[in-house]
Structure 1
């Protein structure tokens, strides 16, 4: 049984984008056992992947190199036959190296000639999507990526979803529309609060509840949405009140998700929940939601994508210009009539 260690990315969306790599590894070697080494905050996304047998908490974040600590930690790991290092940093490859894992796979990245021994050269034009870049690591260096790739698929049971509903004191019916208005990268990826509030009012008139999900960092944004909606009636603000596992369950239960380009956008796509994804400063050509139930709205202005944290021109037209009516139209097209109205 090949024992494989995946050194996971630090971001939720990137972890979801890594799943097709895991699917491909399992498809080619069904007897393999995959363990993910991941920061605690992304671990629930990996635990929801059927391909992952175990998750080990990675205690090293973006901070200091901590060479001695990494070496000590590596010696505590069980034996693995292969390691796939998904982040491109040099230090992310140190733990598999110190652990003596015989085959260590990844992109050359930060000159990782010594710590990786099966290195891939990244051709960004040939592999424009993040999901393709991760999946390429399943191939021999220099080989063509086998396409098409499967879409990510996060699996949560009905029992798990029921527990999360009960923990948050939420009723299962009517199923909600979920808003994910945060964006860790910065405000240039956030659809305006007033637009979310207007959309919430539209759903409230239809008797459809709105649940707002996000981290504690998004609490000010969600509070402003509730304020602009004029009333908290029909709106449940859950920002900072759920962990990622619960958020995955609640998104999986929803009839629809409306999100910025964020980690929870990728979660919504991977749960199979119908999704309207709103892109401003970033590009759906690099990290699109990978689902046949997703609709992407991107205005394609001359100034976008700029990939900036804040609008360099000061107007944020790329997101201000996406009207709530358009989002509602796209959402209605995704849902059966009895659910959309």
Structure 2
């Protein structure tokens, strides 16, 4: 048990969804250690997400390119952190992620064993994937005493990101958004096409929703802009906002949507954390491993015999796990007059 006022450093993950799920750990630490101070080391792009978490007392950017070791940057950050923290919790399982707490000489350094980092961590835990079968469980377990975490039966607080209403007003004006009820669409998924619902399905659904009186907002990064164009082409009241908004803007725009239709992606977790109704589509991945952490979600997963394969591209070349979730079935789930629950194929 930490002492009141203990200073805890969390080395955060490198993906949007994982960073949102890490809030469950931060909430756990604040609840179990009243008066503690939490600092989070994270990539610079994630700072807008951390700013929306009430539990974060200090966000510390580590600017290292994807795949780079970045020893100089890690050493410099460690120099600035010396004598400032009593304990560190390292969420990623990579060797390099444990370097900053070690170089900063933080006395207690906790994480899962992995990548030969025995000498970097002095509170090592073995990862039992059968017990800690979800990413968020693994994160939260590292904030609990080992005996409490061992059985995997512990509370998982649901992430809750703060919303900026003033920023939302500016976004509505800037992007000329209407007063229609909004449906968000997130066609991207970093891992690969085997996690992405077909764009023609997104477009067909958007067309039907506009006809029903909705506004469609397509959200994502710059690389998702072409997909957004496919979805919005020829449609009034459909806005391709991919690459035109900041990550903090996406938080506010998603909070303003009545519902969202999304692949298993980082923005799915953002939408969940602002309380919006989520329609989460799973193909190659599993809703058992990275579910949306909200009670206001519907999972669309066919559980075909070949699913989940966890591949970037469909090994069988057909992606039926996604194609067979039709726009009409999705529309029936969204419209309040025609509720329908997608169940695994028999």
TM-score when normalising by structure 2: 0.91
CA contact (8 A) 2:62 2:74 kept: no
Residue aligned with 1:73, SS = helix
Q: Distance in 1 between matches of 2:77 and 2:131?
A: 36
What residue number does 1:113 align with? 118
**Structure 2 unaligned residues grouped into runs of 5+:** 340-346
What residue number does 2:132 align with? 127
Residue aligned with 1:283, SS = coil
Q: Write the deviation string for residues 88-111 of structure 1: whole angstroms up to 9, x where unpaired.
A: 101000001101111111111212
- For the pair 1:314 / 2:317, whether they are aligned, the reply is yes
Aligned-residue Cα RMSD (Å) equals: 1.8
What residue number does 1:157 align with? 164
Instruction: Count residues with an aligned counterpart.
Output: 332
> Where do residues 1-341 of structure 1 align in structure 2 (5 Å cutoff)?
1-77=5-81, 79-144=84-149, 145-171=152-178, 173-227=179-233, 231-332=234-335
CA contact (8 A) 1:35 1:53 kept: yes
Q: Distance in 2 between matches of 1:100 and 1:137?
A: 19
Q: Distance in 2 between matches of 1:311 and 1:109?
A: 29
Q: Write the deviation string for residues 244-285 of structure 1: whole angstroms up to 9, x where unpaired.
A: 100111001111110000000011111100010000010101
Q: Write the deviation string for residues 158-178 of structure 1: whole angstroms up to 9, x where unpaired.
A: 22322333343434x223101
Over 6 Å off, 4+ runs: none
- Displacement after TM superposition at 1:39 (Å): 0.7
- Displacement after TM superposition at 1:61 (Å): 3.5
What residue number does 1:339 align with? none
Comparing 285-294 and 133-142, the one that deviates more: 133-142
Comparing 162-171 and 201-210, the one that deviates more: 162-171
Residue aligned with 2:137, SS = helix
Residue aligned with 1:41, SS = helix
Q: Distance in 1 between matches of 2:110 and 2:116?
A: 13
Q: Distance in 2 between matches of 1:13 and 1:334?
A: 32
**Structure 1 unaligned residues grouped into runs of 5+:** 337-341
Q: Distance in 1 between matches of 2:305 and 2:338?
A: 32
- Displacement after TM superposition at 1:146 (Å): 5.0
CA contact (8 A) 1:40 1:58 kept: yes
TM-score when normalising by structure 1: 0.93
Residue aligned with 1:139, SS = coil
Residue aligned with 2:220, SS = coil
